[in-house]
Structure 1
Amino acid sequence: MRGTSLIGLSLASALFIGALAYTLPQPAGEPAPAAPWLTQLKVGTVTAIVIATPGQPLIRAERRDGRWVLASWQDFPAAPGAIVNLLRAINDARQVEAQSSLAEHQALLGLDDQASLLTLERQEQAPLELWLGKQVRQGGQIVRTGDDPTPWLLDRNLPLPQNPADWIDRHLTNIPFEQIRRLSLTYPNGARVKIYRDTIDQPHLKVSQHPVKVMDEAAANDLARIFGQLTIEEVAAVTDFEQMKKPGLSFELLTFSGGKLTGQIRQRDDQYWIRLKTLKELAPQLVDHPSPPVLRIEARLLR
């Protein structure tokens, strides 16, 4: 009786695993050599990348004067790695197996009305539209090209970040604590705080404040560390900044290597936004930006 139960359990498990294997088309165990996917694409001719995902903000990256910017994010410079990785994956992808083109199967393949549309705009050529479906467990992704009714399973997943922040270098500042020379703050009520060290070999920062005490020395050192590691969460237009709560907190950050960052911070609900005024040897991704955008930073900054 016990042996019969074990046999039944094993059979049920095998049937269950077999059913899972057909949830999505799977690569064959020993497939024939896969053919290149987009033989007509020359990645050097791509001038823009557009990602449209239902329920998500449109992402548009453009190549301008040899560098990539997020046109949908106030022309914020894109991180080269994100663009290079995506274009390389598209260029190197190979077709493994054709999939069903029947309408009733498209939801199972992830190619229904919730699929992401990746558009590659090219020099002197029509845009190339790529519909991105589900990713399979063994590695690979279902895709469909333009008006071609036949989906294909690729031999790899396409690295497609859905959050615009994943397309940029999010480090507004990346300053070692010992390199921070001075952080000066002017509060809306007129209070002024100077957090500083006289020489680079001093392990901790001192604090000077007038006319009232705003923080103790430990809090001042913690605040300097935060300013040294500011992370960008979102980008907005200058007009949005003007509509935020006034007045704001003004700051100046100096480093021993000659770096300088000045600006103003304003609050909207539980969010804190920076409008930069001076950039010197800091935030290199924004050095060539004609008008540095307004940046949302970590909410814990002023709490």
Structure 2
Amino acid sequence: MGRKALVFLALLALLLGASYLWLQRDGQPQDDGREAWLPELKGRAAQVALIEVQVGNEPAVRLAREGDHWVLPAKEGYAAASPPLADLLKALLEAEKVEARTANPQLHARLGLAEEGETGERASRVRIEFGGAAAADAAAVDTSPGADAPGAGAPLDLRVGNPSSQGAGQLVRRAGEEQVWLISRNIPLPATELDWLDRRVTSIAFADVRELDVRYASGEQITVYRDEQAQPNLKVRQLPKDRALPFEAAANGMATLFANLRLSDALPLAQLSFDREKPALRFTLQTFDEGRLEGQVYRHGEEYWMTLPVREGLSAEQVPGREQWAFRIEAQHYQALAKRLPELLGEN
């Protein structure tokens, strides 16, 4: 091979190597020098003790840490859902200042950042309080005029306005400050108490269900079952010998309900205002692992309330709904459970 060819190959190798390194560098996060919107929150997420959220003109929702979990104090300490809390804290921790916007309070309403106003003008509010060591730090915070950002233990009072009109990000400011910032993250804020509740009642996989027995106030009884776990569909014990289900999976919906049953409201049993002696139906669910769930459903006006007094051999993940509580379920959930034989046969 000639000298010129060797030189050309060497130059080509250098060029390819440089291109590879450039592409690798472009594929990695770059430090753009942006400032964190809430630097005092960094490293303090584990010390957050209370979060209060108010979206627009909706009632405020308070969430408090109790040990290693979160609850809603106004809901008698019922468990809060983990995903919205994690999403909110993650967004606040990662939010960076992208651009300073107006500092004119007369313009706050059109940005959804006013202290008061109509829907679309009033800011959503987030208040974060710290506990433990962070709370002790608050005593040392300089609150004099002209002081820097609040100390690590001081509560954070935040105002969240409109999302950016030019892509990702949101307009925000701190309470008591007029300066508006565009930040790099959208702040997810569920609006209602129900949105923050852990709505799981049961999570019993359909494949685990061996038998479901439903007994109505009228005395009628329907039992759906299977003999082996490998069987894909449930049979009906009360099915006449000369009849068949309209399709093989016709009875499955009664049990699949329990795989992902979610509440629409919850109350301690002591607060129920209706007679619990006369349920619309009672049911017993049994699993192949010897688990047993017994419950009742009550009809109160147009509402359906479920109680689960017996839960044996089932984990907290399978039955997350709290003991000694009643759960309001949607009408379609009740109807899925309350099948009578004519319905299963397709006669209604």
Question: Are residues 1:130 and 2:162 paired?
Answer: no
Map 1:177-192; keep pairs closer than 5 Å: 177-192=206-221
Query: Whole-Å Cα distance in 2 between the matches of residues 103 and 53 of structure 1?
Result: 20
Question: Does the CA contact (< 8 Å) of 2:203 and 2:320 recur in 1?
Answer: no
Relative to structure 1, is the Cα distance of residues 120 and 285 closer, same or farther in structure 2, using a 3 angstrom cutoff? farther
Q: How many residue pairs align between the two structures?
A: 266
Query: Whole-Å Cα distance in 2 between the matches of residues 296 and 103 of structure 1?
Result: 44
SS of residue paired to 2:219:
coil
Relative to structure 1, is the Cα distance of residues 242 and 142 closer, same or farther in structure 2, using a 3 angstrom cutoff? same
Query: Whole-Å Cα distance in 2 between the matches of residues 78 and 173 of structure 1?
Result: 16
Q: Which has the higher strand share?
A: 1
Q: Deviations over 1:234-293 (max 9, x none)?
A: 22332453427862122221111233322221123433221221234255286695x443
1:140 to 169, 175, 184: 169
2:127 to 110, 115, 119: 119
Relative to structure 1, is the Cα distance of residues 105 and 46 closer, same or farther in structure 2, using a 3 angstrom cutoff? same
Q: Deviations over 1:209-249 (max 9, x none)?
A: 59xxxxx7965432222233322232233245342786212
Question: Does the CA contact (< 8 Å) of 1:241 and 1:266 recur in 2?
Answer: no
Q: Determine the structure 2 residue equivalent to 1:235.
A: 266
Q: Determine the structure 1 residue equivalent to 2:256.
A: 225
Q: Determine the structure 1 residue equivalent to 2:78.
A: 76
1:203 to 220, 224, 232: 232
Q: Determine the structure 1 residue equivalent to 2:55.
A: 53
Q: Deviations over 1:49-73 (max 9, x none)?
A: 1112344343222111111223333
SS of residue paired to 1:69:
strand
The Cα of 1:119 is off from its aligned counterpart by 0.9
The Cα of 1:120 is off from its aligned counterpart by 0.6
Question: Does the CA contact (< 8 Å) of 1:171 and 1:283 recur in 2?
Answer: no
Q: Determine the structure 1 residue equivalent to 2:33.
A: 33
- Which segments of 5 or more consecutive residues in structure 2 lack a partner in the other structure? 1-31, 117-121, 139-153, 240-244, 336-348
Q: Determine the structure 1 residue equivalent to 2:66.
A: 64
Question: Does the CA contact (< 8 Å) of 1:117 and 1:132 recur in 2?
Answer: yes
SS of residue paired to 1:258:
coil
C-alpha root-mean-square deviation of aligned residues, in Å?
Answer: 2.8
SS of residue paired to 1:182:
strand
- Displacement over 6 Å in runs of 4+: none
The Cα of 1:37 is off from its aligned counterpart by 1.1
Q: Determine the structure 1 residue equivalent to 2:205.
A: 176
Query: Whole-Å Cα distance in 2 between the matches of residues 199 and 285 of structure 1?
Result: 21
Relative to structure 1, is the Cα distance of residues 276 and 57 closer, same or farther in structure 2, using a 3 angstrom cutoff? farther
The Cα of 1:90 is off from its aligned counterpart by 0.9
The Cα of 1:35 is off from its aligned counterpart by 1.1
- Which segments of 5 or more consecutive residues in structure 1 lack a partner in the other structure? 1-31, 211-215
1:267 to 284, 288, 299: 299
Q: Determine the structure 2 residue equivalent to 1:284.
A: 317
The Cα of 1:298 is off from its aligned counterpart by 2.9
The Cα of 1:302 is off from its aligned counterpart by 3.0
Question: Does the CA contact (< 8 Å) of 1:230 and 1:298 recur in 2?
Answer: no
Question: Does the CA contact (< 8 Å) of 1:74 and 1:293 recur in 2?
Answer: no
More off after superposition, 270-279 vs 61-70 = 270-279
Relative to structure 1, is the Cα distance of residues 297 and 284 closer, same or farther in structure 2, using a 3 angstrom cutoff? same
Q: Determine the structure 2 residue equivalent to 1:104.
A: 106
The Cα of 1:146 is off from its aligned counterpart by 2.4
Query: Whole-Å Cα distance in 2 between the matches of residues 161 and 271 of structure 1?
Result: 24
Give 1:266's aligned amino acid.
Answer: Y
Relative to structure 1, is the Cα distance of residues 133 and 244 closer, same or farther in structure 2, using a 3 angstrom cutoff? farther
Relative to structure 1, is the Cα distance of residues 285 and 253 closer, same or farther in structure 2, using a 3 angstrom cutoff? closer
Query: Whole-Å Cα distance in 1 between the matches of residues 300 and 180 of structure 2?
Result: 45
Query: Whole-Å Cα distance in 1 between the matches of residues 204 and 331 of structure 2?
Result: 19
Query: Whole-Å Cα distance in 2 between the matches of residues 274 and 283 of structure 1?
Result: 17
SS of residue paired to 2:58:
coil
Q: Determine the structure 1 residue equivalent to 2:145.
A: none
- Could you state the TM-score of these two structures normalised by the residue count of structure 1? 0.76
Give 2:306's aligned amino acid.
Answer: I
Give 2:158's aligned amino acid.
Answer: L
More off after superposition, 59-68 vs 223-232 = 223-232
